[in-house]
């Protein structure tokens, strides 16, 4: 599945919910399905800067696709990173770099987050794309 298809799937899923309380619960549930980062990668180097909560992300390049794992100490943040990893994991560095993240606005996520969580969301996307840039450089 490509990034756009996954984003459209997420938009469809979020549109099924009547209100933001249900959407938050869905994000929390998504966080519970997150492919967890190995404890050895819960280091300062893998911490996303700019997040109010602790968020760790690790990336591996496997068969020219980036596979992300992550964790967070906050349930909403864990749900947010789970959504991003669902979109970007198992994709090529080039596709991640070029991906539009407008789906976040389409599901209304940014407008329903506190300013500090919204900043954290931007930091998460930036970090995932930085991994993609680093791996793209290796592949060239």
Active site residues: 51
CA distance 92 to 71: 22
- Residue 29: what are its φ and ψ, rounded to 5°? -65, -40
State the number of CA atoms in the 13 A half-sphere of 30 facing the CB: 22
Which contiguous run of DSSP H or E holds residue 111?
none
């Amino acid at each position: 599945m490509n990034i756009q298809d996954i984003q459209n799937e997420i938009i469809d899923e979020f549109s099924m919910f009547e209100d933001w309380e249900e959407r938050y619960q869905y994000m929390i549930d998504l966080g519970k399905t997150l492919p967890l980062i190995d404890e050895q990668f819960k280091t300062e180097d893998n911490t996303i800067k700019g997040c109010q909560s602790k968020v760790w992300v690790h990336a591996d390049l496997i068969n020219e696709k980036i596979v992300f794992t992550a964790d967070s100490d906050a349930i909403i943040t864990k749900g947010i990173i789970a959504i991003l990893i669902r979109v970007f994991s198992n994709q090529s560095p080039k596709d991640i770099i070029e991906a539009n993240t407008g789906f976040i606005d389409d599901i209304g996520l940014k407008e329903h987050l506190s300013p500090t969580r919204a900043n954290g969301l931007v930091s998460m996307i930036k970090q995932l794309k930085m991994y993609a840039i680093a791996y793209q450089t290796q592949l060239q």
